[in-house]
Chains A and B, each alone.
Chain A
Amino acid sequence: DIQMTQSPSAMSASVGDRVTITCRASQGISNYLAWFQQKPGKVPKRLIYAASSLQSGVPSRFSGSGSGTEFTLTISSLQPEDFATYFCLQYYTYPYTFGQGTKLDIK
């Protein structure tokens, strides 16, 4: 199975900060990577697919980049509603695998 390693596992930031989360695949996955946001008690929400394509309706402060084994999710200016847990997912090959998550909370 492809292992997805996210870093950091948790971080604190302030409203207005620029935040970057990294996901590393144990083998090359081309651009078959998605990012999800999960808030407590809520359904996961897809933010990014194909590594850098923004899901319709998602604010443009979210962006994704990378290919192969290294990927990043960037939030350009944190808003109060962005404090959540973020997960990457590889869908290059079965079984699909999630990263362990990055919990982003308020500093």
Chain B
Amino acid sequence: QVQLVQSGAEVKKPGSSVKVSCKASGGTVNNYVFTWVRLAPGLGLEWMGKITPTLGETHYAQKFQGRLTISADRATSTAYMELRNLRSEDTAVYYCAGAGMDVWGEGTTVTVSS
């Protein structure tokens, strides 16, 4: 069974960037596909994007185009989510998940505050 382990909580200033990692382990992770979802306070789940490392293919929600980069290191089965030009509205818990979203990381809290 694949497990996803995310990096720790972050506190950032408006206008800065954050990079969250998600490492897959256990099971078959060589061809793992990663999805990123966030949950902001008082709001619902928001699909951010997805990466298929074996194809070098990424897809993003239009809302984040230009600010979001999802990348992956196949050698370590780790995915990264980098969000730039942070705003207070980006304060949320950021989750990585597998392709089918049946496996989830524990979430990373990102707080954007001056």
Write the residues of chain A forming the contact surface with B, with a CB cutoff of 8 angstroms: 1, 34, 36, 38, 43-46, 49, 55, 85, 87, 89, 94-101
Contact = CB atoms under 8 A, between A and B. Distances in A.
B107 interface: yes
Contacts of B59: 94-95
Interface band, chain B: 20 to 34
A99 B47 CA distance: 10
Given A95-B59, A98-B46, A100-B44, A49 B104 contact: no
Contacts of A85: 44
22 contacts: A1-B61, A1-B62, A34-B100, A34-B101, A38-B39, A43-B104, A43-B106, A44-B45, A44-B101, A45-B104, A46-B101, A49-B102, A85-B44, A89-B101, A95-B47, A95-B49, A95-B60, A95-B62, A98-B44, A98-B45, A100-B44, A101-B45
Name the residue among B35, B95, B101 with the largest chain A CB count within 10 angstroms: B101
Contacts of A1: 61-62
